[in-house]
A and B are shown apart, each in its own frame.
Chain A
Amino acid sequence: MSDAVMPLKLTEKPAHKTTGQFEIRDYLRLDLFPHFLCPGCGHGIALRALLWAIHDLDIEKDQLAVVSGIGCSGRLSAYIDANTFHTTHGRPIAFATGLKLARPDLHVIVITGDGDCLAIGGNHLIHAARRNLDITCIMLNNEVYGMTGGQVSPTTSLDRFTTTTPMGNQEPGFDACALAKGAGATFVGREVTLQTTALKNLMQEGIAHQGFSFVEVISDCTEVYGRKNDLGSSPEMVLSQKRSILPKFDGTAVDKPFRAGDWETGVLSREDRPEYYAAYRAHCHRVLGK
């Protein structure tokens, strides 16, 4: 049998790097597999899309820094063969700010979740957006605190059951993209995991963007959220996602699955504003007459 028809086990490195072609194994720490994500979790698809975007941008792994916080999303950084930092709960953006200021030569990407980014880390998100330092923030939104057992999060849809909303959630959730945009993020986009190519393209644009870019990934948690709300297992959740994505004439789409309200996807906003570090350095040099 030829190599072409013999699928590699996930943990096997391909014998020859196929130049140009995206090969996920080239970007993973394979000795950590099997990974710890639950069956059906959307985070793995998001990770694949991110690594694919990094590949297509031709970013050297040595020049890539991935910073994550705490929660299911926080554990993803460990699987990436790059300079990776699993920091404290809610603080990856603040940590990444220091890292990027110290090392503007690195590509700094934050992977965070809805709880990490919008609850405990909300302050850091809005200020990073305001400053416009060149960091890409990928927020995986699964509407729930998965790692701790399924508690309500700042994006949980109305009436959903979680372990801390046994009678259904009555708190309105954040529109994370509107929040990021309102705070000044110069690139904002949202995509669902089902549309992996579109998600990869969106991430690619976000990373290439000079300034603070925010990408919300609509992920799904089957184990502690889907099951509790009778949303089915992974196939049902993904199929429901497929049914509920409504393309619009301008190329964007609207996602509704499992959620209250319409969630527009694609590039939602883009703004041209000076990048923080470059502006700081240039200003200091000007004032000091350097």
Chain B
Amino acid sequence: MSEIPQRQSLQGNQACALGAIAAGCRLFAGYPITPSSEIAERMSKELPAVDGVFIQMEDEIASMAACLGGSMGGVKSMTATSGPGFSLKQENIGYGIQAEVPCVVINVMRGGPSTGMPTRPAQGDVMQARWGTHGDHPIIVLTPASVQEIYQQTIQAFNFSETYRIPVVVLYDEAIGHLIDTVDLPHAKDIETTERKWASGPASDYLPYQADEDGIPPMPLPGDGYRTHTTGLTHLENGFPTQVPADVTRVTSRLLDKIENHRDAIEQYELISCEDAEILLVAFGITARSSERAINIAREKGIKVGLLRPVTLWPFPEKVFKQLAERAKHVLVAEMNAGQLILEIERLCPSGTMVSGINKFDGESIQPDEILSRIEECGHE
């Protein structure tokens, strides 16, 4: 039987740092930015104690690059930022995707565009997290909704990144990042951590991008004799560039399929009161918490409403959503932006379903009564 977890009062960003340490992160490269700076601050304190390395780089781009370098050296690496910094990191996130470098990027969302509102919460990076870097690419984005979940999802992010050899984004809003809550920290032996698949066998036969049956190639560790080449250029199984159309199609498809074919293992979500829901609410992060409250009140009033909370924002939990949407007359999407996730919802809904958004982008979180009044409007139609 597990020991009783350690109970602590923690801020969301602090929980993120502790989750990273628990996941085995031993290198953090960052740059100060509101509202994520507490992650770097806590990492600078925690890492030396576990013989890890903290470095404050000269800018956001360098932080992402150092994170990639650390991971290619065989050490689990992380960086953390907010909107403007997330924009700057995009090119190197793309490199991480193309060269298949496991790493974790935390993006604590604030109001935007541009400098926007540094200390105000927002959920405006839904599409940037999906499509921020150029070209066709897969990505995994996790959206915790509580301080406890920030801790767990940061560990999950490392596990996914190591398993699938891909940068994983943990996306949460300033409200959750700065929320102080009680968190149960499990003991180390109760934490499940994943290590990447290392290359083994003779170096002469080894191709660094030759995937196993699961679509994921084992990684070479510098010093182990494989002496491979890593590039952001589109490359063959041997790691060297190609522009031959058939080869490009093959290797890029494998990159995309690597995530697509593992959707069932990756997609995570929470369903609340969905069994008989005629009105389906979709919300994540802090907005999901307001939504839950609104649903409880609406249910007391006899309105059949349920909540789908995607924990994996990308890939979006399509299968479960489609099942729920078949039954729903109305789908409401609550998000702290002018309408981003709703685009994906509209794409997935059967024709004839009424889809509407509950949107707010004024730096305030969406309140339960604002959601409730919209649920009631749908219920009376």
Chain A complexes with chain B: yes
Contact of A97 (CB < 8 Å), options: B69, B92, B227, B241: B69
> In the complex, are the beta carbons of A67 and B58 less than 8 A apart?
no
- B279, CB-defined interface residue at 8 Å: no
Complex Cα gap A39–B74 (Å): 38
Q: Mark A73-102, 1 if CB is under 8 A from B, else 0.
A: 000011001111111100100111111111
- Given A63-B223, A88-B92: A98 touches B69 (CB 8 Å cut-off): yes
Q: Known contacts being A98-B70, A98-B77, A102-B75, is A86 close to B230, with CB within 8 Å?
A: yes
Contact (A102, B77) CB under 8 Å given A62-B224, A95-B65, A127-B62? yes
With A97-B62, A98-B27, A124-B62 known as contacts, the answer to whether A88 contacts B95 (CB < 8 A) is yes
B contact residues around A94 at 8 Å (CB): 57-58, 61-63, 65-66, 69
17 A-B contacts (beta carbon < 8 Å): A62-B227, A82-B227, A86-B230, A87-B65, A88-B91, A88-B95, A94-B63, A96-B69, A98-B27, A98-B29, A98-B67, A98-B73, A100-B73, A102-B26, A103-B74, A103-B75, A123-B58
Closest to A66 in B: B229
Contact A85 B70 (CB under 8 A): no
Name B235's closest neighbour in chain A (CB-CB).
A86
Q: Across the interface, which residues of A come within 8 angstroms of B48, CB to CB?
A: 284, 287-288
Which residues of B approach A to under 8 Å, CB–CB? 26-27, 29, 48-49, 53, 55, 57-59, 61-63, 65-75, 77, 91-92, 95, 220, 222-233, 240-241
Kindly report which residue of chain A lies nearest to residue B27, judged by CB atoms.
A102
CB distance from B197 to the nearest CB of A (A): 18
Q: How far is the CA of A86 from the CA of B74 in the complex (A)?
A: 17
Residues of A within 8 Å of B, CB-based: how many? 39
- A3 within 8 A of partner (CB): no
Closest beta carbon of chain A to B99's beta carbon, Å: 8
What distance in Å separates the Cβ of B127 from its nearest Cβ neighbour in chain A? 23
Interface check A58, CB cutoff 8 A = no
Contacts of A123 in B (CB 8 A): 58-59, 62
Candidate in A29, A61, A88, A123 with the most chain B CB atoms within 10 angstroms = A88
**Is A65 engaged at the interface, CB distance under 8 Å to the other chain?**
yes
Q: Is the CB of A62 within 8 A of B77?
A: no
